[in-house]
Structure 1
Amino acid sequence: MNSQQPDRRRKSRDKDGFYQFVLTVNSVCWLVLIGALVVFHFARPEMVTGLQTYWGIEGRATWSEEHVDALIMLLQLCLGMTLLTMLLRSRRNRRREDNYGVNLFILAGISMLSLFTLNVSVA
């Protein structure tokens, strides 16, 4: 090993640029999931109450196609970025105190389950 360069395993995580990049991508993944939840709100069928029926106010009883397409795209983007982040973290974790990040597994599970449920219920 070259004695002039510092050992990157001894460098603190706050100063590691790669680790900061992975954290940023992880944060973006969670923001994309929140955006998908907002799009889901507009994509789902509206609940038509008895009062709306009485007053003659129409509600949408089907899924909004353009919102469903955007929702699927956001969920696929979230899943892809999460899997990429998992791969990057697995290649880089070399310190003893490095943990793998349970939140990535949760995010990937939410994304896969949402895509599966959306394909089953909308298709």
Structure 2
Amino acid sequence: MNSGHQDRRVIPRDKDGFYRFIVTVNFISWLVLIGALIVFHFARPEMVTGLQTYWGIEGRTTWSDEHVDMLVVLLQICLGMALVTMLLRSRRNRREADNYGVNLFILAGISMVSLVTLNVTVA
């Protein structure tokens, strides 16, 4: 029955191309979340201190629409990538040493909570 292919359950995970792909997508989705955090910094209202008010320096007290739109897109991409990766891992885990990847649940949770909070706060 063996047609020259090695059983993928005995191949080490770091040699499996599909596993490498999943790890790469997972890494990229975490980078997208870091990018979303950077965009969040520029999207939120600025804190206007008493000294700024005294000297007449104006600060933005509302959310930046352009940055909020970009933030929503980045969070949606992050959530989508996390969910797809979770689905792929659930279909592929067959080795005894395979774990499900708690970081994906954390990533999806952070993305969902951020989207809901952003929707409630900005809208």
Whether TM-score is above 0.5 comes out as: yes
Equivalent residue letter for 1:13: R
Equivalent residue letter for 2:102: V
Unmatched runs of 5 consecutive residues or more in structure 1: none
Q: 1:83-110: per-residue Cα shift (whole Å, max 9, x none)?
A: 0000110110001110000000000000
Comparing 110-119 with 5-14, which one deviates more in the overlay? 5-14
Match of 1:62 in 2: 62
Structure 2 length as normaliser, TM-score?
A: 0.98
How far the C-alpha of 1:6 sits from its partner, in A, is: 1.1
How far the C-alpha of 1:3 sits from its partner, in A, is: 5.4
Unmatched runs of 5 consecutive residues or more in structure 2: none
In the comparison of the two structures, how many residue pairs are matched? 123
Structure 1 length as normaliser, TM-score?
A: 0.98
Sequence identity (%)? 79
RMSD (CA atoms) = 0.7
Secondary structure of 2:120's counterpart equals helix
Q: State the alpha-carbon separation in 1 of the partners of residues 8 and 110 from structure 2.
A: 34
Q: State the alpha-carbon separation in 1 of the partners of residues 12 and 59 from structure 2.
A: 56
How far the C-alpha of 1:9 sits from its partner, in A, is: 0.3
